[in-house]
Amino acid sequence: MKKKYILLFMILSITMPVCAEEKMENKKLTDLEKYVIENKGTEKPFTGKYNKHKEEGTYTCKRCDAPLYRSSDKFESDCGWPSFDDEIKGAVKRIPDADGRRTEIVCSNCDAHLGHVFFGEKYTSKDTRHCVNSVSMNFVPAKTEKRTETAVFASGCFWGTQYHFEKRDGVISTLAGYSGGTTENVTYEEVCEGTTGHAEVVKVVFDPSKVSYEELAKVYFNTHDPTQLNRQGPDIGTQYRSEIFYENEDQKRTAEKLIKILKDKGLNVVTVLSRSVKFWEAEKYHQSYYRKKGGTPYCHIYQNKF
């Protein structure tokens, strides 16, 4: 990614508004929760409220509310902590401990410490045990569970795209990544070569009862120039193309409607609509880039086009 202009624009940028992580930081945690979630501690065995919990539903992150585990993947291991043999896809990151003896698991959305993952114990057919602290989780019963949907957008450098979506009410989580190409387990360096066919994208998980797909699609069009072909500002290449990867026909129809509105206004929209395909999560240093740096995007400036 050619971002040699970034320093100049970062100097001119202003401090960003309240964002998702700041909301997380403002969330009240007890001393025990801070000890476990922020300082990577461990609650005492057999004391957690979800250790023997059997209700149907979804376990979510205590700090950011992102969905982590389904009750159908929970099993009894008698280890003293809640055990799961699988996670919701993309919800949990694995980080080897410095001593190489164990593998830590954290929330993919906010890096809250959850516990550790173990293999080879033969508890279930998946031969995996996520050993999770109860205090790292909340629980949403199936009968009151929120329905979530996913949207995938490409609009140039994913730093700027993610910046705007992670601040929106109703958005549960965002992930920068790559989609639309042919290479498996693609890396940033490979995408930069422009030979894999991938676009830089952001996967958005949202609560449709709080924000609609159409509202998010409008944010998408309002925060980049959909008339630029294979570029966005100084970033040039097919990986910076404008493309919507729709999850279903309703999303496709919504995108087509908005594109028609823009074309009727005289905009030569080049945004491509494609069926959603495999998403590859980008490297950690790309995630929430502007939040971490405390700046604002240099080529994703909000402009109401509708």
The residues carrying an active-site annotation are 131, 157
List, as own/partner pairs, every contact residues 13-18 make where C-beta atoms lie below 8 angstroms and the sequence separation is at least 24, other chains included.
13/295, 13/296, 13/298, 14/296, 15/294, 16/163, 16/290, 16/291, 16/294, 16/295, 16/296, 17/167, 18/167
Instruction: For residue 68, give the 3-state DSSP assignment.
Output: strand
CB neighbours of residue 298 within 10 Å = 22
**Pair 112, 103: CB distance under 8 Å:** no
Q: Measuring CA to CA, how many Å separate 291 from each of 21, 159, 250?
A: 8, 9, 32
Give the tokens for residue 186: 């693609």
**CA pair distance 74, 56, nearest whole angstrom:** 10
**CA pair distance 22, 267, nearest whole angstrom:** 36
**Pair 162, 291: CB distance under 8 Å:** no
Q: Burial, 198: exposed, middle or buried (Cβ in 10 Å; 0-12, 13-18, 19+)?
A: buried
Q: Measuring CA to CA, how many Å separate 163 from each of 45, 176, 241?
A: 39, 10, 17
**CA pair distance 258, 190, nearest whole angstrom:** 33
Element (DSSP H or E) covering residue 25: helix 20-25
Identify the bridge partners of residue 154 per DSSP, sorted by sequence position: 243
**CA pair distance 80, 183, nearest whole angstrom:** 42
